[in-house]
Amino acid sequence: MQPPRREPRLRISRGRRMGDVRVVRRRSQRGLERVLGVPALFSAAYGNVGSSIYYALGVTALYALGMTPVVFVISGVFFLFTALTYAEGAAAMPEAGGSAVFARRAFGRSFSFLVGWAQILNYVVTIAISALAVPGYLSVFWPTLKSYPVNVIVAIAVTVVLGVVNIVGTKESSRVNISIAVIDLASQALIITIGLVIVFNPALLTANVDFGTAPTFSQFLLGIAISMIAYTGIETVSNLTEETRNVSRTVPRSIMLTFGTVVVIYTLIPMVALSAMPVVEVRPGVFETLLATEFLQNPVLGIVREFGLGGFAQEALERWVGLLAATILVLATNAGMLGLSRLAYSLGRNGMLPERVSALHPTRRTPVNAIIVTVILTSLLILPGRVTVLASLYSFGAMLSFTFAHASIVRLRVTEPALERPFRIPWNWHVRGRRLPITALLGGTATSLAWMVVVLTQPTSWMIGVPWLAMGLGYFAWQRRRDRATSDSGPTAAPDH
């Protein structure tokens, strides 16, 4: 005799009408949907990494001057070290949260919260600076878009629209990312090719440099720290691991594909830019390049204007670059919003932010509350309209996060050598039976030094960054006291006489 068939458990609910009773099947508690592959992850990372050339180039040249190409090569090496660290960590711990997840496993909840809180600042700044650069490039069509407060209004409108797109769903927003990334890569290749043919001048690049004067050594170090703004795309990849298919293969491939693409772009475009807009001494002891003055907000557009093609070809290329840059910056804003909303989801789910932050939309399964908070915070940061302040503020938070990411991977090699690592950093230093990743040791040293450079040379960064960290730690301490008080007042607690 066969056992009686078990009927599916039903619960009364407001939902579809089935017969005379409104019922729905009990839905299992699902997390984020796994819908992303290598193209989607690459486009999300490239949205932040590749797009930063459209604003980071000008800000970096402001400090590094003729050494800007060298600065980007150096930061490219550090980018490789960081990419390897995130590839190992994200493959071994496939959970939204990036370096905050690594730190939680390696150092505990307190350090994890500190890193996650710094990451929130990084993402808000990245979204803000990307959105704020959009009207600067669209000014090639409407010059008034470059002026304040019109540029701020447009930037806030971009974040609001993308917030709605992300609430609709990850799959829909990632399709936008992929298509725009392909167009941007092709167009940047075209710009580099034209630039190498028309304006590239190796002798002029050498003449641009008077190291120790233009730039000074401190300016050179600050330029390296600022140029590391490209690292943010790596956090985006690791924060999307919970929505990724075949994490152990997809994440490392996406990260290394991003690295290879960005290194080529960040080596060639600065060389073309400083050939087109060389460093000049505007007055005794003061050196400038148009790349960091007139075209600070839209440096790639400045490169194209110096091509001097003339006539229709010149106008068409300028308009295309303006439209392209605005589009890829929208992609960067979207990618940053994806990363931040997933980070907030992870922190909320792990009890480090209010539980309501991690709530998912009932049908779209996206972190709707986290996205709304992201739009509000970003809009507040956009209001002043200061690109240089945003760049230094990003470096403050990012270098802290990346230092902890490197440190976490090194510590886990010591404390959990048996942890399953689908991807393992290949170059290691054998110490007392432990395999310590050399690139993580070097990368952690570099990012910690870069953080100190930013703190010592950019007062605005720590004047905002330190209070932000203090506010987060204050919240975390209050939350822990509240949790202990709740636990002590439970049914097993002794009465208070």
486 domain-assigned: no
Residue 362 dihedral angles phi and psi, to the nearest 5°: -60, -25
492 domain-assigned: no
3-state DSSP of the chain: CCCCCCCCCEEEEEEEEECCEEEEECCCCCCCCCCECHHHHHHHHHHHHHHHHHHHHHHHHHHHHHHHHHHHHHHHHHHHHHHHHHHHHHHHCCCCCCHHHHHHHHHCHHHHHHHHHHHHHHHHHHHHHHHHHHHHHHCCCCHHHHCCCHHHHHHHHHHHHHHHHHHHCHHHHHHHHHHHHHHHHHHHHHHHHHHHHHCCCHHHHHHCCECCCECCHHHHHHHHHHHHHHHHHHHHHHHCHHHECCHHHHHHHHHHHHHHHHHHHHHHHHHHHHHHCCCEEEECCEEECHHHCCCCCCHHHHHHHCCCCCHHHHHHHHHHHHHHHHHHHHHHHHHHHHHHHHHHHHHHHCCCCCHHHHCCCCCCCCCHHHHHHHHHHHHHHHCCCCHHHHHHHHHHHHHHHHHHHHHHHHHHHHHCCCCCCCCCCCCEEEECCEEEEHHHHHHHHHHHHHHHHHHHHCHHHHHHHHHHHHHHHHHHHHHHHHHHHHHHCCCCCCCCC
| pLDDT at residue 406, rounded to an integer | 95
Return d(Cα 64, Cα 70) in angstroms, integer. 9
* Helix 99-107, helix 109-138: angle, nearest 10: 170
70 domain-assigned: yes
Return d(Cα 395, Cα 456) in angstroms, integer. 12
173 domain-assigned: yes
| pLDDT at residue 428, rounded to an integer | 92
pTM metric for this prediction: 0.78
| pLDDT at residue 253, rounded to an integer | 77
Q: List CB contacts of 17: < 8 A, sequence separation 6 or more.
A: none
102 neighbors 457 (Cβ within 8 angstroms): no
18 domain-assigned: no
32 domain-assigned: no
| pLDDT at residue 238, rounded to an integer | 62
| pLDDT at residue 244, rounded to an integer | 67
Q: Find the domain containing 392 and state its range.
A: 38-476
CATH number reported for the structural domain that contains residue 332 in this entry? 1.20.1740.10
Tell me the pLDDT of the chain (497 aa) as tens digits: 445 444 444 343 334 333 333 333 333 344 555 556 666 777 666 766 777 888 889 889 999 999 999 999 898 888 889 888 988 888 888 776 778 889 999 998 888 888 888 888 888 888 898 899 999 999 999 988 888 899 999 999 999 998 888 887 655 455 566 677 778 888 888 899 999 999 999 999 888 888 888 899 888 988 888 888 766 666 666 656 666 666 666 777 777 787 788 888 888 999 999 999 999 988 888 899 998 888 888 899 999 988 888 888 899 999 999 988 888 888 778 877 877 777 777 777 777 777 777 677 667 667 788 888 888 888 988 988 888 888 888 888 888 889 999 999 999 999 999 898 888 898 899 888 889 999 999 999 999 998 998 888 888 888 888 898 999 888 888 888 887 777 666 554 444 44
| pLDDT at residue 8, rounded to an integer | 43
242 domain-assigned: yes
| pLDDT at residue 68, rounded to an integer | 92
427 domain-assigned: yes
| pLDDT at residue 86, rounded to an integer | 87
Per the structure, the count of domains in the chain is 1
CB-count exposure of residue 181 (10 Å: 0-12, 13-18, 19+)? buried
